[in-house]
């Protein structure tokens, strides 16, 4: 973030708050305070939204009579709208050029409290102040500038623990509970009707970055191992952008094995993906959004990590359902460092989970 940009916004907000007097930036928050209108920001990736759901749930429990609006990304819309959790959902792409629309919508709501759980600084703080919110709380990430802290009544400090717990602990001054780390799905979805029989193993081959992906050749090797036993059914999950990975996978495994694979890549909506993951016995995946959906759905997972730290962003609830495989050392010349993890090692983790 350019400091000149932050300084410009700080000057603008200083002038604005001098005249508006809405923001009570020097007043501390406490557990006796009551709020009727609360705005929540969660405008980033799918996994980030899932990490935010325990904190949102804690706020809903603490203020059961309050009205809530969520500021969301469009891509997460199917998981938050329509939802009994929120009276309204406003969409924002984190861009300054579209901030005026969000500010107008938020002013119509008249938030008393704004809780920024994950968004992009400094524009999120700018929107919160210009919405005339009285109090602002923000979960701070390592990349965020401290130069905007002056507009916040409460913000998180450096924390060597899981993001979910950090967000829950942040809200305790309000009287919110911090002892329920379960992730939630805010919308209605249909539970799987899988009658049983075969052991369904999901393969999530795609992720936002190559370093988060277990190579397709490793998935192909695992499929070949699993398909030697007809009690297993391999299910491919993913969005339309993952179709190229399916073509590579098909070429590697050959037509005979591919004919035994259930390919659902690009064939489900986000809500339908919930039903699909709910019907799996185990999901094999890198550090990506569907992993966190599986955790929320209490579907067992084998998750593979390269440079990300599982104790910060990995499975946090139901530890008995999740096997984490983390590289001790990353080869500097490797585009996909997770290739160091063998198909046989992942198969062993799957066997442990399905035998439990």
Is the model's pLDDT at 335 over the cut of 90? no
Neighbouring CB atoms inside 10 A of 103's CB total: 19
Q: How far apart are CA 204 and CA 289, in angstroms?
A: 10
Tokens of 78: 């199917």
What digits encode the pLDDT tens for the residues 222-272? 999 999 999 999 999 999 999 999 999 999 999 999 999 999 999 999 999
The H or E element that residue 38 is part of is: strand 37-42
User: What's the pLDDT band for 143 if we cut at 50, 70, 90?
Assistant: confident
Q: Is the pTM of this model over 0.85?
A: yes
In 3-state terms the chain splits into helix, strand, coil percentages (rounded to 5) of 45, 15, 40
Phi, then psi, of 94 in degrees rounded to 5: 70, 15
Contact 115, 39 (CB under 8 A): yes
> What is residue 126's three-state secondary structure?
helix
Q: How far apart are CA 86 and CA 80, in angstroms?
A: 8
> What is residue 336's three-state secondary structure?
coil
228, with CB counted inside 10 A (0-12, 13-18, 19+), is exposed
pLDDT of residue 302: 98
* Mean pLDDT taken over the chain: 95
pLDDT of residue 215: 96
Is the model's pLDDT at 1 over the cut of 60? no
Q: How far apart are CA 167 and CA 53, in angstroms?
A: 10
If phi over 0 gives left and psi between -120 and 50 gives alpha, with beta otherwise, what is residue 277? alpha
* Residue-range domains of the chain with CATH: 1-5+26-172 (3.40.50.2000), 197-353 (3.40.50.2000)
DSSP per-residue letters across 220-285 = HHHHHHHTTSTTEEEEEE--GGGHHHHHHHHHHHHHHHHTTSEE-TTSS-HHHHHHHHHT-SEEEE
pLDDT of residue 196: 66
Q: How far apart are CA 225 and CA 231, in angstroms?
A: 12
pLDDT of residue 19: 86
Neighbouring CB atoms inside 10 A of 175's CB total: 16
CA distances from 332 to 22, 213, 337 (A): 51, 16, 8
Residues whose CB falls within 8 Å of the CB of residue 84, separated by 6 or more in sequence, listed in order: 186
Whether omega before 173 lies within 30 degrees of 0, making that bond cis, reads: no
What digits encode the pLDDT tens for the residues 39-97? 999 999 999 999 999 999 999 999 999 999 999 999 999 999 999 999 999 999 999 99
State the residue for tokens 């005026």. 100
Q: How far apart are CA 290 and CA 190, in angstroms?
A: 17
Task: Of 4-18, 53-67, 117-131, give the lowest mean pLDDT range.
Answer: 4-18
The secondary structure of residue 155, as a DSSP letter, is: E
Question: What percent of the chain is modeled with pLDDT above 90?
Answer: 88
Tokens of 83: 């939802």
């Amino acid at each position: 973030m350019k400091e000149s940009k932050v300084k410009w916004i700080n000057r603008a907000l200083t002038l604005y708050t001098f005249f508006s007097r809405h923001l009570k930036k020097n007043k501390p928050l406490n557990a006796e305070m009551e709020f009727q209108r609360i705005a929540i920001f969660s405008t980033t990736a799918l996994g980030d939204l899932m990490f935010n759901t325990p904190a949102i749930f804690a706020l809903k429990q603490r203020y059961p009579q309050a009205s809530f609006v969520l500021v969301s990304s469009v891509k997460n819309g199917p998981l938050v709208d329509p939802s009994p959790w929120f009276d309204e959902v406003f969409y924002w792409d984190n861009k300054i050029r579209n901030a005026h629309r969000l500010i107008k919508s938020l002013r119509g709501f008249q938030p008393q409290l704004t809780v920024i759980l994950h968004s992009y600084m400094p524009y999120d703080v700018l929107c919160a102040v210009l919405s005339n919110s009285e109090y602002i709380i923000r979960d701070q990430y390592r990349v965020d500038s401290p130069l905007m802290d002056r507009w916040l009544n409460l913000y998180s400090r450096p924390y060597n623990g899981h993001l979910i717990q950090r967000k829950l602990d942040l809200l305790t001054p309000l009287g919110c509970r911090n002892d329920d780390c379960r992730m939630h799905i805010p919308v209605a979805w249909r539970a799987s009707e899988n009658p049983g029989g075969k052991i369904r193993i999901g393969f999530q081959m795609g992720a936002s970055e190559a370093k988060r992906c277990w190579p397709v050749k490793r998935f192909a090797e695992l499929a070949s191992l699993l398909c030697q036993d007809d009690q297993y059914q391999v299910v491919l999950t993913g969005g339309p952008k993952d179709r190229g990975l399916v073509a590579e996978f098909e070429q590697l495994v050959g037509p005979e094995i591919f004919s035994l694979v259930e390919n659902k890549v690009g064939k489900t909506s986000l809500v339908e993906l919930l039903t699909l993951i709910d019907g799996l016995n185990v999901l094999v995946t890198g550090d990506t959004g569907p992993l966190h959906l599986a955790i929320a759905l209490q579907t067992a997972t084998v998750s593979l990590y390269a440079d990300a730290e599982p104790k910060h962003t990995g499975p946090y609830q139901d530890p008995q359902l999740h096997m984490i495989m983390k590289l001790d050392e990353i080869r500097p010349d490797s585009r996909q460092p997770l290739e160091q993890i063998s198909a046989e090692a992942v198969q062993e983790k799957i066997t442990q989970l399905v035998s439990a």
